[in-house]
Amino acid sequence: MATLAGSLAGLAGAGGAVSVAMLRRSRPCVAAGHALVGGEIVDPLPGVLRLGLGGMTVPVVPGPHGELFLGPGAPQPGRTLRRLVLAPLFTRAQAGGRLWRDQGMPFRLVIEFGGANRDAESLLRAYRMLDRQLRDHAALLSRCRNGVLTPGVVTVTVSGIVDARELLAAEPDRYAFADGTFDDLGSQSAPPVLVPMISEPWTRRFGWDGREPIAAEERHLLHALVRAAHDDGRTVRISGLPDGPRRVRAAIWAELGAAGVDVIADSDHSGLVKHLRRHPISATPMPHLPTRAVRRTAPRPNAPRTAGRREPV
């Protein structure tokens, strides 16, 4: 089974001197760092790539014809996801075969559907438009074909659509995945090939705000949940940290890293990058990808860690 490193190397062959120079000027990739982008930000990608963050969550609003728009207020011409995120991201990936010279894991792009219009038909039309745009860059994307996962330079996850799982599960060949929660562990209706990443806000299950030492019970729960997710063939992304000064957030970042959380998401992009460069979380690519979803009737929080079972998309 091909590894991500092999996939990236194959794409890099068409690079060229300009692309190589561009990659060399980039800061090293911080695969565990994930940028949460505020709805007021119109053009978030350049800053995220410049810092070397390994992914970002971008809020979008469907327009009248299915196009997805960024930024505050009503949809504006030129502020589309395709123009501001997809096109420059895939252009950079195509030019150098990867986004950073040292990239070893897919860039995790989470597209969060929002806006006041929650009409199912409008959301479906917007997803179909997104799907067509992604298929134009299929060679660069992580994909699932007939239950087999193949990693790419970029992994796309969609959230905010009620029926996203049904839409995605019905496609035998797809280039996007659904967001999951710890409640999905062991679920046959949400296997890792459909929901490869668990994404939850910290405050959903934890009350610790980083100002005092974490309670032993909460630390145990965190480690048990992360271990269960890894046993189930999934990665873990934690977001929604309590508000507070950077030193308080850094205390939570440190606990997440110690527990083996794969992706830490925060709106303090520069602070998160600085922390992860000093305290890196291992992001070594797997030698082989699991070819099928891990089937289990229930999660096993106390099961021992199994080397090489994490889903890298």
Pairing mode of beta strands 55-62, 177-180? unpaired
Residues 6 or more apart from 78 whose CB is under 8 A from it? none
Sign of the dihedral through C-alpha 50, 53, 54, 60: negative
**Where residue 195 falls among pLDDT bands split at 50, 70, 90?**
very high
The domain of 46 spans: 4-8+31-278
Q: Which amino acid is at 38?
A: G
Q: How far is Cα of residue 93 from the mean position of the Cα atoms in its chain?
A: 16
d(CA 253, CA 173): 36
**Where residue 25 falls among pLDDT bands split at 50, 70, 90?**
low
Judged against a pLDDT cut of 60, whether residue 19 lies above it is answered with: no
In the chain the first and final C-alpha atoms are separated, in Å, by 15
d(CA 154, CA 156): 6
Mean pLDDT of the region 21-26: 49
Residues 225, 182 contacting (CB under 8 angstroms):
yes
- What local confidence, expressed as pLDDT, does residue 312 receive? 66
d(CA 94, CA 276): 27
d(CA 222, CA 182): 11
- What local confidence, expressed as pLDDT, does residue 13 receive? 43
- What local confidence, expressed as pLDDT, does residue 9 receive? 47
Assign 298 to helix, strand or coil.
coil
Judged against a pLDDT cut of 50, whether residue 260 lies above it is answered with: yes
The residue that leads in pLDDT, 36 or 310, is 36
**Where residue 301 falls among pLDDT bands split at 50, 70, 90?**
very low
- What local confidence, expressed as pLDDT, does residue 282 receive? 66
157 HSE (CA, 13 A, CB side): 24
Tell me the CATH number at 245: 3.20.20.190
**Where residue 73 falls among pLDDT bands split at 50, 70, 90?**
confident
Q: Is residue 296 part of a domain?
A: no
Mean pLDDT of the region 173-189: 95
Residues 312, 233 contacting (CB under 8 angstroms):
no
Assign 123 to helix, strand or coil.
helix
* Count helices and strands in the chain by DSSP H and E runs: 10, 12
Judged against a pLDDT cut of 90, whether residue 105 lies above it is answered with: yes
Q: Is residue 295 part of a domain?
A: no
Q: Is residue 136 part of a domain?
A: yes
Mean pLDDT of the region 183-205: 95
- What local confidence, expressed as pLDDT, does residue 60 receive? 93
- What local confidence, expressed as pLDDT, does residue 40 receive? 85
Pairing mode of beta strands 143-145, 55-62? unpaired
Assign 197 to helix, strand or coil.
strand
Q: Is residue 144 part of a domain?
A: yes
Instruction: State the average pLDDT for the chain.
Output: 84
Q: Is residue 14 part of a domain?
A: no
Q: How far is CA 251 from CA 25, 232, 262, 266, in A?
A: 31, 27, 16, 13
Assign 237 to helix, strand or coil.
strand
- What local confidence, expressed as pLDDT, does residue 4 receive? 55
**Where residue 142 falls among pLDDT bands split at 50, 70, 90?**
very high
- What local confidence, expressed as pLDDT, does residue 58 receive? 96
- What local confidence, expressed as pLDDT, does residue 289 receive? 30
Q: Is residue 288 part of a domain?
A: no
Judged against a pLDDT cut of 90, whether residue 63 lies above it is answered with: no
d(CA 18, CA 5): 21
Q: Is residue 159 part of a domain?
A: yes
For the ranges 23-27, 63-67, 131-135, which has the lowest average pLDDT?
23-27
Domain count across the chain: 1
**Where residue 64 falls among pLDDT bands split at 50, 70, 90?**
confident
Q: How far is CA 56 from CA 17, 65, 66, 156, in A?
A: 28, 25, 22, 10
Residues 6 or more apart from 2 whose CB is under 8 A from it? 150, 289
d(CA 104, CA 17): 21
Q: Is residue 23 part of a domain?
A: no
C-alpha angle with apex 155: 174 to 200, nearest 5 degrees? Answer: 105
Judged against a pLDDT cut of 90, whether residue 216 lies above it is answered with: yes
State the alpha helices, DSSP H only, in the chain: 4-12, 17-25, 45-51, 81, 87-96, 120-135, 164-169, 216-231, 246-259, 269-278
Residues 235, 312 contacting (CB under 8 angstroms):
yes
